Amino acid sequence: MQDMPNQYRIITAGAGWIDRRSAARLRFDGVDWAAFLQGLLTNDVLALGRGRGAYAAYLTPQGRMITDLRLYHRGEWLMAEVGAGRANEFAERFDGLVFSEDVHVTDVSAHHGHLSVIGTEAPARLAQALGLDAEALSGLAVFDQLDIEEGFVARTDDTTWPSFDVFTPAAVRDETVSRLTAAGIEPVSETLAEALRIEAGRPAFGADMTEETIPLEAGLLERAISTTKGCYVGQEVVIRILDRGGGRVARQLVTLMFEPSAGVEPEAGIPLSVEGQDVGHVTSVAFSPTHERFVALGYLKRDVAEVGTEVKAAVSGTSVSAEVTALA
């Protein structure tokens, strides 16, 4: 594996691939799977057709997050990606909610190879590798899919660079890697992917979102929540915040850029302050090859969660500054 500057050059000039085999995947099938998920998840599952996809959350009745999911409509069935290592947990959880519906939930994590491809040339090189049309790939909406032999390719929004996920049977994963390599797509690391995720302001469950998070705090309204569909678990709390509170929540996830002099990596969990008053904390940190400094995601109190706000953090006993660059 090459060092971070070289990996960054790979995606800025071409494309890189990352192994996502640790991701957890569920299969929903049976006549009623769409209606079943429609009543549980925040996004509009019934609006999807074959080859369409969506991002969604599964909430408690109190409007707190249980998990986030990526949904891929495959026609007779749906693939849902959940947090790494949690497929069996959620297969049992969802299965326990099935009463008279014709719905079957299966952990299929071990059955699929899963590779991410990121970079300026990702559409062209991925099309070359897999026999697809580059313009069709470029034109895909986020989480929509194109079929390939024994699998599919889905557009993602993990970074500000073009990015795609490739799903194949596990048995042909190595063959797929060979085809990517032959098209000039080189391996890059999870460390780079994490930096690109944070730069893009994409929260990860378990780091930037927990079971105490209200999805509006994490900036998921546009990405994960339908305001026109029927009832789902936790909807009353979400609608109350939107209608009565004008969408305001007590805290907001933001992206932060630390000053270049912060030579030591800030740690997740460190407090953030304004004029000596605690106003939030950091949730994820990475060194950004784009900006050549540390970038982070973190929660700030509503009244200071604005682009341009300067906050302070104690890093290895030294006070360093960071600026809010965007709402996540």
DSSP string for residues in 160-217: SS-EEEEEEEGGGHHHHHHHHHHTT-EE--HHHHHHHHHHTT---BTTTB-TT--TTT
**Which residues fall within 8 angstroms of residue 277, CB to CB, at 6 or more apart?**
none
156 exposed, middle or buried (CB, 10 Å; 0-12, 13-18, 19+)?
buried
Structural domains of the chain in order of their starting residue, each with its CATH number = 4-197 (3.30.1360.120), 250-327 (2.40.30.110)
The secondary structure of residue 40, as a DSSP letter, is T
**Which residues fall within 8 angstroms of residue 151, CB to CB, at 6 or more apart?**
112, 113, 166, 167, 168, 169, 172
- Phi then psi for residue 287, to 5 deg, are -85, 125
Q: How many CA atoms, within 13 angstroms, populate the side-chain half-sphere of residue 53?
A: 25
The residue type found at 32 is D
Per-residue confidence in pLDDT tens, the chain, 328 aa: 568 889 999 999 999 999 998 889 999 999 999 999 999 999 999 999 999 999 999 999 999 999 999 999 999 999 999 988 889 999 999 999 999 999 999 999 999 999 999 999 999 999 999 999 999 999 999 999 999 988 999 999 999 999 999 999 999 999 999 999 999 999 999 999 999 999 999 999 999 999 999 999 999 999 999 999 989 999 999 999 999 877 789 999 999 999 987 778 899 999 999 999 999 999 999 999 889 999 999 999 999 999 999 999 988 888 999 999 999 8
